[in-house]
Chain A
Amino acid sequence: MDDFKKYMQQHSEDLDVDTPRGKVWLAINQELHPVKPMATVVYIKWAVAACVVALAGFGAYALLTKQPVSNNTGEMVKTLSKPVKSELPEDVTRLQPTTTEQLVASNKSVKSTNSQKQRANQPVTSNQQPVTNITALEQVENSFTQVINLQKAKVNTTPLIAENPGYFNDFAIEMKRMERDEQSIKKDIKKNGLTDELLDQLINVYQQKLNVLKQLQNEIHKTNNRFKQNRGPVDSTKPYFLNI
């Protein structure tokens, strides 16, 4: 081995003066762990928040659609004795007790007749039902929209120091897709009225929106943090912002 080679090998560590840019690790990580915006990752905190809002919505819906029920058995019997059969669908009339004796036989049966009474009353108050449904729908919509807007504001005010907005395009596309889904469900509700199925679909879309926004926020924080770790101080004069 010549002396030059020997000298270079002895001091080889001193030759390592260059450092790779932070984007190299981002590219490696992106390749190894691609972002899946629609992955069903549950963010517990936000899932809990979404559940609370959903429960509040359901509660409001239940309260607004519930009719006042009298505890007076006699009155109840009287009401149920009315010839409502002709106004009810077949499956409801099948449940209808035929005699007062059957109704007052036990507390249990009285309780059950309360619900039956409710059903029996439905056709009578049918002119009020769409109004209460729409109110409930508005409440669910408002509750979710508030939380979603709050999350959107958080995302839109977080500076992007590591990546330009194009990097997060998948999230924006996903949000647009869900906006379209939401509009489509709302059209169906207008056309067919509010059914349990449509309400579930709508709530599901809102929850997905929240999940995507939370994932987006996490991704922004992750890229920003990596950039800060790799590159040291950040030039805060040129950050990008998203407009979701």
Chain B
Amino acid sequence: METANHILTDLVKKARKGNADAQGSLYHQFSKAMFNICIRMAGNRSDAEDILQEAFIIAFKSLHQLKDEVLFGGWLRRIVINECIKYSKKSFYWQDWDEADYEHRTDDAVEWWQEIDMAIIHQQIKALPDGCRQVFNLYVLEDYSHKQIAENLGISEGTSKSQYSRAKQLLRERITKHIALHG
């Protein structure tokens, strides 16, 4: 772990000085994880690649602001998520959703998600409708609270909760259907 941190620190220091090889190494180390955040948030490859590209350019150009090189991964992740949120805000309008109804629409008593291939879940997250897809990702995978989601996306906390509920319900329906069709 210490060696890995030492390598990372060295790469970040070199990348900060504009070393293209070090920047390339950092990109190859982190691009896959960051790209998957982007593609789950954007829902399509083309926009996800644009967001990823922009995020890495911002990161490499702002590396002097990063105080502790070991924290590069988390720092980069925040830049990526901020870029995803920026993209979400300008690319779609929120549709009204029955906020009061969300609590009754899910049934967590049955752990339907157990034993399901994560690749299928990933595919279905990407296919969720705009709005609930972003809320789902921020709440579940980025561990944002509904309050933080509401502040970042410019919606009410209730809308965030209902969108999450809707996303979970849609996921369950679609995955169940997918398994029924394809096994």
Q: Which residues of A contact B (CB under 8 A)?
A: 2-5, 7-9, 11-21, 23-25, 27-29, 31-33, 226
Contact = CB atoms under 8 A, between A and B. Distances in A.
A51 B48 CA distance: 50
B60 A28 contact: yes
A140 to B, nearest CB: 37
Interface of B: 18, 20, 23-24, 27-28, 31-33, 35-36, 39-40, 45, 48-49, 52-53, 56-57, 60-61, 108, 111, 113-114, 118-119, 121-122, 125, 139-141, 143, 168
A167 to B, nearest CB: 16
B144 to A, nearest CB: 11
A32 B60 contact: yes
Given A11-B118, A15-B36, A15-B40, A4 B108 contact: yes
A223 to B, nearest CB: 13
Given A4-B113, A7-B113, A17 B119 contact: yes
Contact of B23 (A4, A11, A24, A29): A29
A20 B140 contact: no
A7 B121 CA distance: 12
B49 A9 contact: no
Contact of A2 (B27, B108, B141): B108
15 contacts: A4-B108, A5-B139, A5-B140, A8-B121, A9-B140, A9-B143, A15-B122, A16-B33, A18-B122, A19-B35, A20-B35, A25-B31, A28-B56, A28-B57, A29-B24
B39 A28 contact: no
A32 B118 contact: no
B1 to A, nearest CB: 17
Given A3-B108, A29-B24, A24 B139 contact: no
Contacts of B28: 25
B23 A8 contact: no
Nearest to A6: B140
A4 B140 CA distance: 8
Contact of A25 (B27, B33, B111): B27
Contacts of A19: 32, 35
A27 B36 contact: no
10 smallest beta-carbon distances between A and B, as pairs: A14-B118, A16-B36, A20-B35, A15-B122, A8-B140, A5-B140, A28-B56, A17-B119, A24-B49, A18-B39
A7 B57 CA distance: 33
Most buried by B among A3, A5, A16, A19: A16
Contacts of B20: 29, 32-33
* A interface secondary structure, majority: helix
Contacts of B31: 20, 24-25
Contacts of B32: 16, 18-20
At the interface, is chain B mostly helix, strand, loop or mixed? helix
B40 A24 contact: no
A28 B27 contact: yes
B40 to A, nearest CB: 7
Contacts of A14: 118-119
Contacts of B121: 8, 15
Contacts of A28: 23, 27, 53, 56-57, 60
Contacts of B60: 28, 32
A7 B110 CA distance: 13
Nearest to A19: B32
**Residue from A2, A7, A28 whose CB has the most chain B CB atoms within 10 Å:** A28
Contacts of B53: 24, 27-28, 31
Contact of B45 (A18, A25, A33): A18
B126 to A, nearest CB: 8
A51 B36 CA distance: 52
A20 B49 contact: yes
Contacts of B119: 14-15, 17
